[in-house]
């Protein structure tokens, strides 16, 4: 629910402003890459890698999950240290995860067949999704967090990555054999196409595959745990300069390890490979180090205010953006010439196409989409309304 002034004096831990700003930058990037004016006219860095490899766009989702892990440490560590009832904490975690998961399902189903251009069937409702993965990773990582210290969390992260590597390489897929890392024939595809038959992403590389599917959630949990480990470091009794340096060094090591492992296990966002997990965690550490040094160490905060505004209501803005984007594409009508158009095409062709080349017009539409949602987030921030799940 939306509540006024979530940042009260009796909060269990002080807010890390740089983390809010980093989360806000991630949400802004999500909105930018998900909402071009035309998918036919997009600059390549704003598209996901087709399969193996990575682009800046492939940083966005793992960074958000990693941030969930960092925030988890700040949210729970002090409560655990003060002897809070772990059963009650776990009940809160289950409730929060369930709400986020259901929000994801509702977003997939929206607008529930209520518009003529939308056909809704439970038999084809996509079950996985971004919010669903966040919910599952949060639930699993939080459960591990409450039962282990940082060494145990590191062991769990390493174990999940090693196990996932072995699963992909060693378990044979019927009709395809073991070790296949293409969409068709990979073990994640086989599991999703059987256990989620009819409920996977319609835009996937091959039918039955889902980039937020079942098996690839295992290394995504490791992404969240790696964020939790960074949170432990940021809570340590050390100077801000030392914490910044530690994040930079750890990030560099993770980037190097991920790049080396890419030779044997390609960096791949769709499969969320172990090399991808390590490599993207490295980028997340480096980027948070920059935010942390500028905002929390140097105290230069004013420039980051728009990002903080996004970051403190991240789930609200993500869900709202999904609803708005869906409505823009589904509110349609027939023109005088008999052609069918929708609200997005109308706005894009009237306000953006006339004054820019196709790629710039498409980018300008996406940037405007971000600015409009920033204005909404700013209004919520000014009224001190924050989503509390």
Same domain, 217 and 119: yes
What count of residues does the chain have? 389
Do 228 and 322 belong to one domain? no
Q: Are residue 349 and residue 280 in the same domain, yes or no?
A: no
DSSP string, 250-310: HHHHHHHHHHHHTTTS--BTTTT-HHHHHHHHHHHHHHHHHHIIIIIIS---GGGHHHHHH
Last residue of a domain, one of 299, 333, 355: 299
Residues 235 and 315 in one domain: no
Give the model's confidence band at 335: pLDDT under 50 very low, under 70 low, under 90 confident, else very high.
confident
Is pLDDT of 294 > 80? yes
pLDDT digits (tens, 9 = 90+) for 50-69: 999 999 999 999 999 999 99
Q: Which one of 272, 299, 326 terminates a domain?
A: 299
Q: Which helix (H) or strand (E) holds 340?
A: strand 340-342
Query: Above 90 in pLDDT, residue 85?
Result: no
Q: Are residues 230 and 120 in the same domain?
A: yes
- φ/ψ of residue 334, rounded to 5: -100, 130
- How would DSSP label each residue in 168-187? HHHSPBTTTBS---STTT-H
Is there a contact between 39 and 326 (Cβ–Cβ < 8 Å)?
A: no
What tens digit of pLDDT does each residue of 195-248 get?
999 999 999 999 999 999 999 999 999 999 999 999 999 999 999 999 999 999
Rg from Cα positions in the chain: 21
Element (H, E) at 386: strand 385-387
Same domain? For 295 and 320 the reply is no
Whole-Å CA distances, 379 to 203, 307, 317, 322, 375: 34, 14, 12, 19, 6
Assess whether 361 and 284 both reside in one domain: no
In this structure, the answer to whether residues 227 and 322 fall within a common structural domain is: no
Q: How many domains does the chain have?
A: 2
Same domain, residue pair 284 and 312: no
Residue at which a domain ends, from 265, 299, 333: 299
- How do residues 88-97 score in pLDDT, each as one tens digit? 999 999 999 9
Q: Which letter does DSSP use for residue 198 in this model?
A: T
SS (H, E, C) 102-154: HHHHHHHHCCCCCCCCCCCCHHHCCCCCHHHHHHHHHHHHHHHHHHCCHHHHH
Counts of helices then strands in the chain (DSSP H, E): 13, 4
Query: Do residue 355 and residue 281 come from a single domain?
Result: no
In whole angstroms, give the CA distance from residue 132 to residue 334: 36
pLDDT at 83: 80
Q: Say yes or no: 380 and 336 in one domain.
A: yes
**Do residues 153 and 292 both lie within one domain?**
yes
Range of the domain at 375: 1-47+304-389
């Amino acid at each position: 629910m939306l509540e006024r002034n979530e940042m009260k004096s009796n909060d269990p831990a002080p807010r890390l402003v740089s983390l809010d700003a980093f989360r806000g930058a991630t949400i802004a990037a999500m909105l930018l890459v998900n909402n071009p004016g035309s998918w036919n006219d997009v600059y390549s860095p704003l598209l996901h890698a087709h399969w193996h490899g990575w682009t800046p766009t492939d940083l966005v989702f793992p960074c958000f999950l990693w941030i969930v892990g960092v925030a988890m440490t700040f949210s729970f560590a002090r409560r655990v240290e003060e002897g809070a009832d772990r059963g009650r904490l776990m009940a809160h975690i289950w409730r929060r995860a369930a709400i986020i998961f259901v929000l994801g399902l509702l977003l997939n189903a929206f607008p529930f067949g209520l518009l003529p251009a939308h056909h809704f069937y439970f038999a084809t409702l996509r079950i996985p999704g971004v919010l669903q993965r966040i919910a599952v990773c949060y639930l699993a990582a939080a459960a591990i967090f409450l039962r282990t210290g940082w060494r145990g969390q590191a062991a769990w992260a390493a174990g999940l990555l090693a196990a996932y590597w072995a699963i992909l390489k060693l378990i044979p897929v019927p009709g395809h054999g073991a070790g296949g890392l293409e969409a068709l024939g990979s073990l994640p595809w086989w599991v999703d196409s059987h256990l989620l038959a009819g409920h996977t992403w319609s835009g996937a590389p091959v039918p039955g595959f889902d980039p937020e599917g079942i098996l690839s959630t295992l290394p995504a949990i490791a992404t969240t745990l790696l964020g939790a480990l960074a949170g432990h470091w940021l809570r340590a009794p050390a100077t801000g300069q030392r914490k910044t340096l530690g994040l930079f060094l750890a990030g560099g090591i993770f980037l190097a390890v991920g790049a080396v492992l890419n030779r044997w296990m390609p960096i791949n966002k769709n499969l969320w490979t172990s090399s991808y997990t390590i490599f993207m965690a490295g980028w997340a550490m480096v980027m948070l180090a920059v935010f942390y040094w500028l905002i929390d160490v140097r105290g230069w905060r004013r420039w980051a205010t728009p990002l903080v505004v996004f970051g403190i209501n991240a789930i609200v803005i993500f869900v709202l953006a999904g609803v708005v984007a869906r409505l823009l594409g589904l509110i349609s009508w027939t023109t005088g010439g008999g052609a069918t158009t929708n609200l997005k095409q109308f706005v894009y062709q009237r306000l953006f196409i006339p004054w820019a080349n196709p790629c710039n017009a498409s980018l300008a539409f996406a940037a405007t989409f971000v600015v409009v949602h920033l204005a909404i987030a700013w209004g919520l921030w000014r009224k001190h309304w924050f989503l509390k799940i």
